[in-house]
Amino acid sequence: MKKVAVVISAFNCQEQLKQLLVNLINIQANIAGYEFKVIVVDDDSTDNTYNVGYEAGCYMIAFGQNQGPGLVARIGLIKALEFQPDFVIHMDGDGQHDPTFIPEMISLLEKGADYVICSRFHIDSKQNNTPQDRLKLNREISNRLSLALKLCITDARSGFFALPSAILKGVVDVMSVERYGYPIELLELIWECVWQEGRPPEVEEIPHPANYHISTPTVDYSKETPEEKQKRFDDAYAVLDMLSNRLGLTI
Ligand SMILES: Nc1nc2c(ncn2[C@@H]2O[C@H](COP(=O)(O)OP(=O)(O)OP(=O)(O)O)[C@@H](O)[C@H]2O)c(=O)[nH]1
Ligand SMILES: [Mg+2]
């Protein structure tokens, strides 16, 4: 039986996480031949997020203080490898990501993909209240990265992705982005890691709805302040700058 580790980054999203875990159990029951391990990384939530994961039987990681999205994801990915899975999937616990895409992700990995992204900005992705600033940010970041790396990516910031453990092992120790934008660095690290094997990376995207109609106690896109929006922009462009310096390229 093959093993899949699912890492869920969670921050103050008790209701969304509860529903996600119910949906995940149904999906697991319908995929034969895979054993799942679900790891929830709780970024010091002040609501019942920890207990929701614990009571559903997830492996729980918690901290005494808030770490930020990039660090939380990396800690979860490192822990996932300890369970010796064949594949690792990361998703957000805030309700933006739909686990019914997991079988398709696994199927693409089985066919040899090095990285599978559920893209919220694919031409076929349904937009649900997507703020204009997110469309602009993701379009620009994804276009610039695609040009520099000769890839065809529409959502370089997606936190819903899957990869083989063998690839993750080669990159997880050097992931350095602690805040937003960590998937941009992860994609570049995978690209480098695979090219070092002497072959072009196989990156696949699955169109996934852009769910910006959700709201949690900490995420409500309709009430987001200009400062909160700016944080996403600043973090993403800081990652592009760092990668440009690292690669000696203009991204
Ligand atoms: N907002 C926030 N999310 C966190 C934090 N730590 C972990 N997370 C998790 O990080 C995930 C991604 O956060 P989002 O704010 O949705 O960021 P994003 O998906 O990269 O970008 P958008 O959805 O376009 O805003 C969420 O599921 C959170 O549970 C934190 O300190 N703040
Ligand atoms: Mg999100």
Domain ranges of the chain: 2-247
Structure tokens at 76: 């979860």
For residue 8, give the H/E element and its range. Answer: strand 2-10
pLDDT in tens, 44-69: 999 999 999 999 999 999 999 999 99
In the block, tokens 């799942």 appear at 36
Regarding the beta carbon of 8 and ligand 1, being less than 6 Å apart is answered no
* Model confidence pTM above 0.95: yes
Regarding the beta carbon of 219 and ligand 1, being less than 6 Å apart is answered yes
- From the alpha carbon of 10, which atom of ligand 1 is closest? 29
Under 8 Å between Cβ of 191 and 170: no
Size (the chain), residues? 251
Q: What is the C-alpha separation between 141 and 243, in angstroms, rounded?
A: 12
Neighbours of 225 (CB within 10 A): 8
In the block, tokens 């822990």 appear at 79
pLDDT in tens, 134-171: 999 999 999 999 999 999 999 999 999 999 999 999 99
Fold for 2-247, please state it: Spore Coat Polysaccharide Biosynthesis Protein SpsA; Chain A (3.90.550)
Q: Would you call 12 helix, strand, or coil by DSSP?
A: coil
Lowest average pLDDT, out of 25-39, 76-90, 163-177, 219-233, goes to 219-233
pLDDT in tens, 203-243: 999 999 999 998 887 888 888 999 999 999 999 999 999 99
Regarding the beta carbon of 53 and ligand 1, being less than 6 Å apart is answered no
- Residue whose CB lies within 8 A of the most ligand 1 atoms, among 6, 7, 8, 11, for a mutation test: 11
